Amino acid sequence: MSTVSIQGEGIAASCCARLLGSAGVPITMDATSRPKLPAVMLNETTQKLLRDVFDRQDLFSDLPRIHRRVVLWGRDSETLTLPHSAVVMPEQLLLERIQQRLSQNKQEQCGKPDWTVFASARLGSTSIEHHFGSRIATASPVMLKPGCDEEACWIESLEHGWLFLLPIGERNGWLLSVGAPAQSLLETGRLVKQQIDDPGPARGAFPSHPRIALPLCAPGWLACGTAAVAFDPLCGDGVGNAVREAILASAVIRAAIGGGDADDLMAHYQTRVLAGFQRHVSLCMDFYNSGHTGLWWNGQLDHLKRGVAWCSQQLSSGAPRVRYRLNGFSLEPAD
């Protein structure tokens, strides 16, 4: 029986472990500790994916919900309130809930695995990371002002960056600042600063620009989750993308174990992930094109344009010899 080693402990790693283990594939997991996000917002599509993967309809019960997005995006723009539907939870709580059903398929490490999924650790010399931006984000805890709508999230573009405010219940929230420090952005803001008291100190800084590793796979291994791709938080679907990558990755490995052509399957996987990354970078380009004007915005936009062109070049350099499609959680040749 072929065995799979999963390197990581995050969303993508957990989803791969669940899908492969449920299909009867023996797995081992090697946790790679990393800081957890203080809060993640999951839209309805992502919630459904996770409920289906882990077969838990109660996965998101009793959680704070977001029903509106309040947006002030673009120079001289007006505030818009848009319908939204999402839940908010700490990443650690999400991992604890989804990992409750993983133990039954874990095996003790015995010899070299037939396949390895890199789901959070860096790939070292195996691949090269390609970065399309230079923006840094910080997350700060905040106390919401009395009367602030705790069922809304708030986003605002400013001359030197943008702000995102996410309530998490009981007048608490997290403020994400991208570009300049939070206090600097708040001083010139019109929307977010009206919802909060002074923010607490930032709890760390991290890159927030899109990046992708290449190659993403070869017979015997593939990269998934943060080892493969990082997304700009502006688009708000990082967890959903991690789940979709894990579904495809586990389906590709199962097809290869079942006798499929590993080279064709790896080519299909890389093409699909590259195409998804290109869509993300293109969407980011639209947002950054309309967010504001000035040196910071123009610089980020130039990086994103380069990213779209780079993706197009990679995708045009060759296509998989066999086309596949997902049928549920399984991969099959397309007609």
With a CB cutoff of 8 Å and minimum separation 6, the contacts of 189 are 156, 158, 163
Residue 299 in this model has a pLDDT that exceeds 90: yes
SS3 state at 219: coil
Residue 58 is assigned to a structural domain of this protein: no
In one letter, which amino acid is 95? L
Lowest mean per-residue pLDDT among 157-161, 262-266, 322-326:
322-326
Outline where 64-154 has alpha helix (H): 91-98
Q: What per-residue confidence (pLDDT) applies to 120?
A: 84
Q: What per-residue confidence (pLDDT) applies to 43?
A: 95
Q: Which one, of 122, 199, 131, lies nearest residue 164 by Cα? A: 199
Residue 21 is assigned to a structural domain of this protein: yes
Looking at the fold, whether 197 and 244 belong to one and the same domain comes out as: no
pTM value is: 0.93
Looking at the fold, whether 97 and 231 belong to one and the same domain comes out as: yes
Q: What per-residue confidence (pLDDT) applies to 110?
A: 56
**71, 162 Cβ separation under 8 angstroms:** no
In one letter, which amino acid is 96? E
Q: Is the peptide bond before 215 cis (omega within 30 degrees of 0)?
A: yes
Residue 74 is assigned to a structural domain of this protein: no
Looking at the fold, whether 114 and 141 belong to one and the same domain comes out as: no
Pick the last residue of a domain from 206, 226, 241.
Answer: 206
Query: Hey, what are 81's tokens?
Result: 């309130």
Q: What per-residue confidence (pLDDT) applies to 237?
A: 85
Q: What per-residue confidence (pLDDT) applies to 227?
A: 93
Looking at the fold, whether 222 and 269 belong to one and the same domain comes out as: yes
Looking at the fold, whether 192 and 231 belong to one and the same domain comes out as: no
Residue 104 in this model has a pLDDT that exceeds 70: no
Looking at the fold, whether 125 and 182 belong to one and the same domain comes out as: no
Burial of 161 (0-12, 13-18, 19+ CB in 10 A): buried
Q: Which one, of 311, 114, 89, 296, lies nearest residue 222 by Cα? A: 114
Q: What per-residue confidence (pLDDT) applies to 50?
A: 97
Residue 68 is assigned to a structural domain of this protein: no
Residue 55 is assigned to a structural domain of this protein: no
Outline where the chain has alpha helix (H): 11-22, 44-54, 91-98, 182-188, 238-257, 262-291, 295-316
Residue 125 in this model has a pLDDT that exceeds 90: no
Looking at the fold, whether 129 and 164 belong to one and the same domain comes out as: no
Residue 178 in this model has a pLDDT that exceeds 90: yes
Looking at the fold, whether 306 and 214 belong to one and the same domain comes out as: yes
Residue 256 is assigned to a structural domain of this protein: yes
Residue 320 in this model has a pLDDT that exceeds 70: no
Q: pLDDT by residue (tens digit) across 25-44?
A: 999 998 877 778 889 999 99
**115, 220 Cβ separation under 8 angstroms:** yes
**255, 217 Cβ separation under 8 angstroms:** no
Residue 60 in this model has a pLDDT that exceeds 70: yes
Looking at the fold, whether 200 and 219 belong to one and the same domain comes out as: no
Split at pLDDT 50, 70, 90, the class of 333 is confident
Looking at the fold, whether 214 and 129 belong to one and the same domain comes out as: yes
**181, 100 Cβ separation under 8 angstroms:** no
Degrees to nearest 5, angle at CA 231 with 74 and 148: 50
In one letter, which amino acid is 186? L
d(CA 326, CA 331): 5
With a CB cutoff of 8 Å and minimum separation 6, the contacts of 27 are 3, 4, 5, 6, 17, 20, 21, 105, 106, 107
CATH code, domain carrying 10: 3.50.50.60
Q: Which residue has the higher pLDDT, 146 or 110?
A: 146
Q: What per-residue confidence (pLDDT) applies to 294?
A: 93
Rounded mean pLDDT, 126-151: 93
Q: What per-residue confidence (pLDDT) applies to 37?
A: 86
Question: What's the domain range around 184?
Answer: 136-206
Q: pLDDT by residue (tens digit) across 227-280?
A: 999 999 998 889 999 999 999 999 999 999 999 999 999 999 999 999 999 999
DSSP 56: -
Rounded mean pLDDT, 141-161: 96
Report helix angle 262-291 to 238-257, nearest 10.
170
Pick the last residue of a domain from 176, 206, 236.
Answer: 206
Query: Regarding beta strands 221-223 and 115-118, do their DSSP bridges make them parallel or antiparallel, or are they unpaired?
Result: parallel
Residue 72 is assigned to a structural domain of this protein: no
Split at pLDDT 50, 70, 90, the class of 321 is low
Quickly tell me which residue has 């995102």 as its tokens.
164
Q: Which residue has the higher pLDDT, 327 or 34?
A: 327
Residue 80 is assigned to a structural domain of this protein: no
Q: How many domains does the chain have?
A: 2
